[in-house]
């Protein structure tokens, strides 16, 4: 799940476009919860226990004006789906004047524990996640024979 902070004023047309983007990435649809006037609004709210709602709120800091998007898929596919939703949400927030990303500012980050390989559903095999010359993290080498998806690369 991702929280598009301040985007609860999204239009039906914009939601439809986001759903199209999600489906293009392999989703069956795009579930969401809007937070307005202290209330969660969505057909899926009834499926959450109070404890699950509290945990979502703790992790995502859900506040009035926010909309939370959900992807139900294996981790890698869900990450792709929500990544594309995040980018489009940023565009919508920029258009509303709710998000300003300075073009002259760079905020670098260091990606760690990057996967060595990813599953290619079309080819039905693992492929290099970055480039084929990256070595596995030494302590992950035994996983190459048993669970290649868990092997991290020394990028």
Count of the separate structural domains present in the chain: 2
For position 75, which CATH number holds? 3.30.1360.30
pLDDT of residue 44: 96
- Positions in the chain whose pLDDT score sits under 50: none
For residues 129 and 91, membership in a common domain is answered with no
Which pLDDT does position 86 carry in this prediction? 98
pLDDT for 114 equals: 87
Indicate the DSSP class of residue 152: B
pLDDT recorded at residue 76? 84
Q: What is the pLDDT of residue 112?
A: 84
15-35: b or e for each residue (b if 16 or more CB lie within 10 Å)? eeebbebbeebebeebbbbbb
- Are 35 and 74 part of one and the same domain? yes
**Helix, coil or strand: residue 92:** helix
Domain boundaries, position 30? 2-95
Same domain, 26 and 67: yes
pLDDT at 69: 98
Distance CA 120, CA 89 (A): 27
User: From the CB of residue 82, how many other CB atoms can be counted at a distance below 10 Å?
Assistant: 21
Give residue 121's pLDDT. Answer: 84
Amino acid 66: pLDDT: 98
**In 10 A of CB 1, how many CB atoms?**
15
Per-residue model confidence (pLDDT) at position 129 = 87
* pLDDT at res. 19: 98
* Residues 21, 69 within the same domain: yes
Cβ contacts of 104-111, under 8 Å, gap ≥ 24: 111/155
């Amino acid at each position: 799940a991702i929280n598009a902070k301040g985007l609860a004023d999204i239009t039906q047309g914009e939601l439809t476009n986001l759903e199209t983007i999600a489906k293009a990435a392999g989703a069956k649809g795009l579930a969401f919860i809007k937070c307005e006037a202290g209330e969660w609004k969505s057909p899926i709210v009834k499926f959450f226990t109070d404890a699950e709602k509290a945990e979502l709120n703790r992790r995502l800091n859900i506040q009035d004006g926010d909309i939370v998007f959900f992807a139900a898929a294996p981790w890698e596919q869900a990450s792709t789906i929500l990544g594309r939703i995040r980018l489009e949400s940023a565009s919508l927030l920029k258009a509303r004047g709710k998000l300003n990303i300075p073009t002259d500012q760079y905020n670098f980050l260091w990606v760690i524990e990057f996967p060595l390989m990813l599953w290619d559903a079309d080819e039905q095999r693992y492929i290099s996640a970055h480039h084929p010359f990256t070595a596995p993290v030494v302590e992950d080498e035994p996983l190459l024979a048993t669970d290649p998806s868990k092997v991290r690369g020394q990028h």
